[in-house]
Amino acid sequence: MTFVSQVELKSIDEALKDEKWIVAMHEELNQFIRNDVWFMVPKIDQINIIGTKWVFRNKVVESGGMITRNKATLVAKGYIQEEGIDYDETFAPVARLEAVRLLLSFACISDFKLFHMDVKRAFLNGVINDEVFVLQPPGFEDHQHPKHGEFGMSMMGEHSFFLGLQVKQSKKGIFLSQAKYYKEILKRFEMDNCKEAPTPMSTNCYMDADIAGIVVDQNKFRGLIGSLLFLTASRPYIMFAVCLCDRFQSSPKESHLKVAKRILKYLKGTTNVGLWYPSHSSKHLVGYSDSDIVGCKLDRKSTSGTCHVLGSSLISWHSKKKACVALSTTEAEYIAAESCCAQILWIKKHLEDFGLKVSKIVVALL
């Protein structure tokens, strides 16, 4: 395309030499003014000023080839703030993936298609009561600030790609997968030519702190675990193995990396696997809960697992080591059931927002 830059830049100095990226930056600042996000004030002495930084990204089509848009985002350097001085609490107002899967399942039940609309800028944060002082965006003087603009939206056609999730809609149902992301992760960690593994984890695998083990690059290990955690959005059966590896991020050893790489080897042979949501499914909501008593050999804590099914569509699941030690099998099961019921109430409230009232909910303790 001739209206977008083909190069993803790293610095503001490079962007200011490219008209297409300047337009993208003006769009960002234009939306700030339209939403009354900030206004200019004189610099105040003895006030901590938070810096800003431009982040430049190219948005591409699902196949990963053609660039459709240059997106410039201005972010505050929040990492220089101190708790109790510059902020009191943190939150991330983003869409939960369970909500996305719930919407897809509801679309199948109600037999309607989903379409994708792109909003140029969306501000999800609420009003901040405290005063926050941020530096003027680098590369722009006072006379260069953009004028007020209109709220921009564009129709993207039938819903097929969202937050790294590939959505295939048909009359028979919806297929949800992350095949494109799998291939990117395998290439990133140089595992695209590796041998395939039949399962995510060996049945006799035992993981501990491995104090005497060989230390590996912590950043690389954390990057791998973070990527695998995102893959659980459409692959529930790797959840336990990924969460088990996640426990050793503070001091990863070679043995931990070997187990994590086995998950990649399993994904290598199952890149086209995902979730299938059939059309005209029932509206029954069922929750399943289970727990292994003292499953962790290090601190004797239990690991609970839950999943939730709407009709024939799996929409929510998790595997988590509990914060306390259960004194009996019954107590461990009740703790897991509590997490299951809390998620069910959240799902029930969302279904009511869709206009679907669920009168009877089944909870199965396994």
The CATH number of whichever domain residue 326 belongs to comes to 3.10.20
Average pLDDT over the chain, rounded to an integer: 82
Do 69 and 122 lie in one domain? The reply is: yes
How far is it, in rounded angstroms, from Cα 337 to Cα 333?
A: 6
Claim to verify: residue 320 and residue 248 sit in the same structural domain: no
The pLDDT of residue 149: 43
* Position 197 in a domain: yes
Domain that holds residue 357: 282-365
Taking 90 as the threshold, does the pLDDT of residue 288 lie above it? Answer: yes
* 3-state secondary structure at position 3: coil
The answer to whether 196 touches 266, Cβ cutoff 8 Å, is: yes
Distances (CA, A) of 206 to 62, 139, 222, 238, 287: 39, 54, 20, 16, 29
* Domain tally, the chain: 3
Bridge partners of residue 83, in order along the sequence: 87
Tell me, yes or no, if the pTM score tops 0.75.
no
- Check residue 148 and give its pLDDT: 44
Compute the distance between CA of residue 329 and CA of residue 269 in angstroms, rounded to an integer.
37
Asked whether residue 288 falls in the same domain as residue 360, the answer is yes
Tell me the pLDDT tens digit for each residue of 215-229.
Answer: 999 999 999 999 999
Considering the domain boundaries, does residue 248 fall inside one? yes
Give the tens place of pLDDT for each residue, 114-138. 887 766 555 555 566 667 777 777 6
Question: What's residue 124's pLDDT?
Answer: 53
Query: Per the domain annotation, does 171 fall within a domain?
Result: no
> Are residues 348 and 218 part of one domain?
no
Tens digit of each residue's pLDDT (9 = 90 or more) over 133-185: 777 776 555 434 444 444 566 666 787 877 778 899 999 999 999 988 888 89
Indicate if 248 and 343 belong to the same structural domain: no
Same domain, 289 and 258: no
Do 142 and 59 lie in one domain? The reply is yes
